[in-house]
């Protein structure tokens, strides 16, 4: 039986289930409206695997229709496991908001099967499997392009499926900002043998790491391209609700302009007063409806995007309210992060350690030479438990060229390479971020911070969405 036949059988079976599993997707074909904006930056965040599995267990136990779907039908159970980390995609599966694809290709003993997509006006989640004969662990670098060579821009793609066992669903997410999802996309899977177990064993062994080295591209076993054509019914789903509410946040003037509500996610679009003295570069928030249901920001994947002319974040991603039938929605802001306009660059002398005032909650821990480059470590405030962030987005040296560190690593502990002194910041709410700055011209650099201060908002700042 093919996946298309399985899907048809699944649909017939679920039609006999209790009312709790009825198809919510057919309730409304929402009005199409476009919200155009120029964007330049993406912010991504990650969630722990433990949290993902915990979310799946809670979802299965708390939602009777979802539990029945997962337990009774292998196809839904498989897809439900793959999206357990995402309340939005889990709701889509529960409401049968899934388009089967069922395309298979084989080359040189490697088989890829693109099984499903979950797609709406602005986002696509692609689910596929890999197998090999003879069996060996596989992974793939996924490339998204326009169908049949068509030009494609205005999107970002990500995959968090590294190390997924053969035969289990892997996921690629494609998000569009200033345009709608096209009628079709090409997905190219460059497949290679994954030696992650060997790599983990090598990483566990004592060794001297070169922070300035670049990893080599793996040798590909096969390159397979799939043309994915989307059902127009799905790509028309979503609406843009006008909000246009202006409010004050930490002395700055913001306007919540629109809420873009899609089956896969919700986006909040902000505007800023030109007289503001700081750029908003981060928000912590949640949305609540009239029944007390709470919707959180995205915790895995793209969480915000910025505009071309400034460091400000103008759009924030969160879990969708699409399937909840919420009549009223209120935004609650609990913390904001700001980049003061006059502190967009922080001067640091690598030889002496002298520097401009650092962002609030940051201290210089140490500087050391490493080959032709420098290692610079900062002690940074952990704003919530087990949450690391990158405080620095880039640097420039005497040449004036804007550059990125070769690598950036964060840890709750740090050992000074010069003195051997060991520090553990976890007990006091600190973590350490080390930047590898290669081939610096001169000894003075200008570091670009992602924010210079953070503000707590308790009680939360409330803004009505609708």
100-202+216-234: CATH class: mainly beta
Q: How far apart are the first and last CA of the chain?
A: 46
Question: Is pLDDT above 80 for 443?
Answer: yes
DSSP character at residue 256: E
pLDDT of residue 302: 78
- Rounded alpha-carbon distances, angstroms, from residue 417 to 213, 231, 352, 365, 426: 18, 57, 17, 11, 20
Tens-place pLDDT, residues 45-101:
444 333 333 333 344 334 434 443 444 445 668 899 889 989 999 999 999 999 999
Cis peptide before 466 (omega within 30 of 0): no
Bigger pLDDT: 53 or 275?
275
pLDDT of residue 62: 41
Find all residues with CB under 8 Å of 164, minimum gap 6, and list them.
139, 170
Percent of the chain exceeding pLDDT 90 equals: 68
Average pLDDT over residues 319-348: 96
Angle, nearest 10°, between helix axes 74-82 and 3-14? 100
Tens-place pLDDT, residues 98-117:
999 999 999 999 999 999 99
How does 323-333 read in b/e, with b if 16+ C-beta sit within 10 Å? beebeebebbb
DSSP character at residue 26: G
Tens-place pLDDT, residues 131-157:
999 999 999 999 999 998 899 999 999
Tens-place pLDDT, residues 165-197:
999 999 999 999 889 999 999 999 999 998 765
Which H, E and C letters describe 27-76, residue by residue?
HCCCCCCCCCCCCCCEEEECCCHHHHHHHHHHHHHHCHHHHHHHHHCHHH
Question: Is pLDDT above 60 for 261?
Answer: yes
What is the Cα–Cα distance from 108 to 89, expressed in whole angstroms? 34
Two structure tokens written together for 44: 């991504």
Residue 266 sits at φ, ψ, to 5 deg, of -130, 140
Query: What does pTM read for this prediction?
Result: 0.80
Tens-place pLDDT, residues 277-311:
999 999 999 999 999 999 999 877 778 999 888 89
What CATH topology corresponds to 239-341+455-464?
A: Immunoglobulin-like (2.60.40)
pLDDT of residue 423: 94
> What pLDDT band is residue 225 in, cutting at 50, 70 and 90?
very high
């Amino acid at each position: 039986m093919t996946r298309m036949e399985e899907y048809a059988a699944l649909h017939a079976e679920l039609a006999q289930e209790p009312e709790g599993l009825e198809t919510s997707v057919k309730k409304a074909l929402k009005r199409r409206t476009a919200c155009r904006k120029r964007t330049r930056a993406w912010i991504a965040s990650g969630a722990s695997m433990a949290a993902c599995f915990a979310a799946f267990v809670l979802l299965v136990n708390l939602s009777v229709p979802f539990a029945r779907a997962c337990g009774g039908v292998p196809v839904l159970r498989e897809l439900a496991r793959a999206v357990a980390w995402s309340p939005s995609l889990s709701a889509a599966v529960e409401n049968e908001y899934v388009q089967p694809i069922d395309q298979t290709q084989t080359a040189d003993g490697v088989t890829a099967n693109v099984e499903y997509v979950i797609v709406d006006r602005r986002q696509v989640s692609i689910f596929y499997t890999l197998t090999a004969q003879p069996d060996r662990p596989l992974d793939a670098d996924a490339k998204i392009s326009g169908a049949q060579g068509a030009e494609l821009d205005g999107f970002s793609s990500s995959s968090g499926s590294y190390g997924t066992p053969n035969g289990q669903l892997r996921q690629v997410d494609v998000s569009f900002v200033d345009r709608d999802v096209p009628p079709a996309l090409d997905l190219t899977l460059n497949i290679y043998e994954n030696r992650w177990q060997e790599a983990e064993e090598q990483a566990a062994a004592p060794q001297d790491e070169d922070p300035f080295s670049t990893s080599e591209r793996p040798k590909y076993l096969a390159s397979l391209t799939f043309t994915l054509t989307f059902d127009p019914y799905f790509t028309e789903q979503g609406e843009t609700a006008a909000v246009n509410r202006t409010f004050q946040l930490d002395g700055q003037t913001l306007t919540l302009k629109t809420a873009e509500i899609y089956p896969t996610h919700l986006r909040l679009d902000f505007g800023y007063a030109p007289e503001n003295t700081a750029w908003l570069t981060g928000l912590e928030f949640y949305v609540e409806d009239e029944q007390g249901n709470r919707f959180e920001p995205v915790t895995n994947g793209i969480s915000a995007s910025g505009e071309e002319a400034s460091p400000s974040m103008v759009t924030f991603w969160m879990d969708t309210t699409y399937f909840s039938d919420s009549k009223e929605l209120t935004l609650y802001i609990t913390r904001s992060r700001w980049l003061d306009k006059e502190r967009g660059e922080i001067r640091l002398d690598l030889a002496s350690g002298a520097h401009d005032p650092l962002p609030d909650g940051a201290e210089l821990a140490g500087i050391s030479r490493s080959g032709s480059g420098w290692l610079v470590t900062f002690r940074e405030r952990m704003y919530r438990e087990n949450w690391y962030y990158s405080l620095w987005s880039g640097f420039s040296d005497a040449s004036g060229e804007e550059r990125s560190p070769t690598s950036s690593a964060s840890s709750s502990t740090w050992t000074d390479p010069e003195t051997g002194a060991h520090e553990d910041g976890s007990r006091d709410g600190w973590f350490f971020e080390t930047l590898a700055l290669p081939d610096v011209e001169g000894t003075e650099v200008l570091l670009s911070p992602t924010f210079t201060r953070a503000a707590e908002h308790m009680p939360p700042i409330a803004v009505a969405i609708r």
